[in-house]
Amino acid sequence: MRNILGYIVFLILFAFSHTINSHHAFTAEFDANAPINITGKVVKVEWINPHAWVHVEVQIESKTTIWMIEGGTPNTLIRNGLTKNSIKPGTLINVRGYQSKGKLCLPRCIANGRDITFPDGRKVFMGSSGTGAPRDGSDPKER
């Protein structure tokens, strides 16, 4: 009886072990099958725990869309080489990532950012590993 109970507890813990190491699971909010690749100007940076948000204004023909890109914590971003001052409003960036499950973009589009590329070609990983996000090779620490 005690063994069976232990086994059940183990199974439950095992089932949740994937979500324990992350703040919130990638799959709860984002769509791994909806990769995005956008280029635009930074309009606002929310340098906040537990996730920073970079707002990017994307202009395609005459249509302007604001994208809210979720990044890691300020701590992980700084470790990756991204500071509050390196993505000041007005900076032109290219972002690759994955769109949220809801895709109506009301009032803004939401996405999980994987990496940012600056006009000089510098590429910085901006996501968090181990959140269940697709392993697409953009995280240099990923094994």
Partner 1 sequence: MLDFAFWLSETEWSIALHESLYLYPWIESTHVLSICLFFGTLLFVDLRLTDKVFNNLSISEMNRKVLPLTVFGFLVMSVTGLLLFYAIPVRNYQNIFFRIKMILIVVAGINAFFFHRRMSKEALVWDKDSSIPRSMKNSAITSLVLWSLVIISGRMIAYNWFDCDRQPQPRWINELTSCEVDYSLFEGIDGF
**Do the Cβ atoms of 58 and 40 come closer than 8 Å?**
yes
Using CB under 8 A, pick the residue from 68, 93, 95, 111 that binds partner 1.
68
Binding mask 82-111 for partner 1 (x = CB under 8 A): --x---------------x-x-x-xxx-x-
Q: Tokens for 57?
A: 């204004």
DSSP letter for 71, please.
-
**Do the Cβ atoms of 66 and 57 come closer than 8 Å?**
yes
75 binds partner 1 (CB under 8 A): yes
**Nearest CB to partner 1, comparing residues 4 and 106:** 106
CB of 50 to partner 1, least distance (A): 7
Binding mask 27-66 for partner 1 (x = CB under 8 A): -xx-----------------xxxx----------------
CB of 92 to partner 1, least distance (A): 24
Q: Tokens for 26?
A: 């990638």
**Do the Cβ atoms of 49 and 71 come closer than 8 Å?**
no
Distance from C-alpha of 114 to C-alpha of 129, rounded to nearest angstrom: 9
Residues in the interface with partner 1 (CB under 8 A) total: 21
**Nearest CB to partner 1, comparing residues 94 and 105:** 105
Angle, vertex CA 30, rays to CA 26 and CA 36, nearest 5: 120
Query: Residues 6 or more apart from 62 whose CB is under 8 A from it?
Result: none
- The residue ranges that bind partner 1 (CB under 8 A) are 23-24, 28-29, 47-50, 68, 73-75, 78, 84, 100, 102, 104, 106-108, 110
